[in-house]
Amino acid sequence: MSLLKQDFEWLHAHPELSYEEYETTAYIRKRLTEAGVEILPYTLETGLVAQVQGKQPGPIVALRADIDALLVKEETGLAYQSCNVGKMHACGHDFHTSVLMETARILQSQKDTLAGTVRLIFQPAEERSDGALKVLATDAMEGVQAVFALHTAPWFPVGTIGVRTGAASASVDRFEITVTGQGCHAASPERGVDPIVAASAIVSAAQTVVSRNIAPVNPALVSITHFEAGTTWNVIPESAYMEGTVRTHAAKDRELIPARLEAVAKGVAAGYGATAEFQWHAGPPATDNDPEWTAFAAQVAEQTGLQVKEDPANMLGEDFSYFQQKAPGVYIHVGVGLTKSLHNPGFVVDEASLEPAAVYSAALAKNALEKLAK
Ligand code: NI
């Protein structure tokens, strides 16, 4: 079995959750060290950064893989199914990690022909949307002029990649609303202020923030996903709690929504004689694929024999966008065979997609260095 397949199957069998990727990190370190790849001395609790340096000093590009898994109970029946029951690489981060390890070996074997340096970033906790910030707290992106990441796409067959210019994923923000009324007997609502009725009106009104404030051609959504109030049937409670997420592609829409949402929550609550408190927790922005580098990534894919498709727009989140704030780059979807959706217990990567992805990502880095060195 190839080193790449060994890595993929080992990683798949040993999934670890965000910020718990100790065994995963140790495994990557061991295998890269065996391959003679230099590991940079950054103090990351989990995750690591390696590099392959050409003979001459030159430009620097970075490739990034995320290494964490999900709290999903695997149902694939694979021979190398998860040993950590209840945890699963259901988003293909085992694919990203093993492909980047193989990329490191390919680049290491071509070291003398590299026109600069390739940083290989193994990032923790992408599923928490903030592992990228741990890496960015080191100087891993120092001097980097272009950055790329691959992500599995179960909507493309093996041998296909999908790219799009601009947003290849949405911004991921979270909000909380607490509505306070006045508790009373369920049979005497006139003696209190019902926070459930007020909060329910807020749930409906919140949908108008997108439909009436955002241009219909711009993707944006507000989802209230958690609603809690009351403890029993004959008491009107004091308060109601809600939380949810906002996703956008355009930065100006992202700026607008929290203020509108807060105004709607407070205004509607006031209309019912209640008050609303609003809290906003900003996550990563939308990815922003650079037009020139996107065209370049497509061109390299064609040269390595891959089919290139326009990636469909989506509202998923991806903290790779933080790297794109440091250097232009591209977030690329790689076909792993048509299978169950990401995060599904039946998600399976077709192993035939591993090798072409590694060859592609090595070519991407090598050619990007040559382009920058010109
Ligand atoms: Ni993912």
**pLDDT at position 347:** 98
CA of 93 to the centre of ligand 1 (A): 6
CA of 10 to the centre of ligand 1 (A): 18
C-alpha dihedral (264, 265, 266, 269), degrees to nearest 10: 110
Concatenated DSSP letters for 152-185? EETTS-TTEEEE-SB-SS---EEEEEEEE-B-EE
User: For each successive 10 residues of the chain (374 residues), what is the average pLDDT?
Assistant: 97 98 98 98 96 94 98 97 97 98 98 97 96 97 98 97 97 98 98 98 98 97 97 98 98 97 98 98 97 98 98 95 98 97 96 98 98 95
Per-residue pLDDT, 57: 87
Distance (angstroms) between ligand 1 centre and the Cα of 189 equals: 48
Residue 96 C-alpha to ligand 1 middle, in angstroms?
Answer: 9
- Amino acid identity at 327: A
* Angle, helix 93-109 to helix 3-13, in steps of 10 degrees: 150
Distance 342 CA to ligand 1 centre (A): 8
The rounded Å distance from CA 15 to ligand 1 centre is: 13
CB-based burial label for 188 (10 Å; 0-12, 13-18, 19+):
exposed
- d(CA 126, ligand 1 centre) in Å: 7
Question: Position of tokens 């780059």?
Answer: 329
C-alpha distances (whole Å) from 56 to each of 53, 111, 113, 250 are 8, 10, 9, 40
**Nearest residue to 227 (alpha-carbon basis) of 208, 237, 241, 245:** 241
| CA 155–ligand 1 middle distance (angstroms) | 14
Distance between alpha carbon 4 and the CA centroid of its chain, in Å?
23
Question: Counting Cβ atoms within 10 Å, is residue 252 exposed (0-12), middle (13-18) or buried (19+)?
Answer: exposed
Angle between helices 22-34 and 3-13 (to 10 degrees): 170
Ligand 1 center to residue 321 CA distance, Å?
A: 13
pLDDT at position 56: 84
Residue 35 has what DSSP assignment? T
- Give the three-state DSSP class for 335: strand
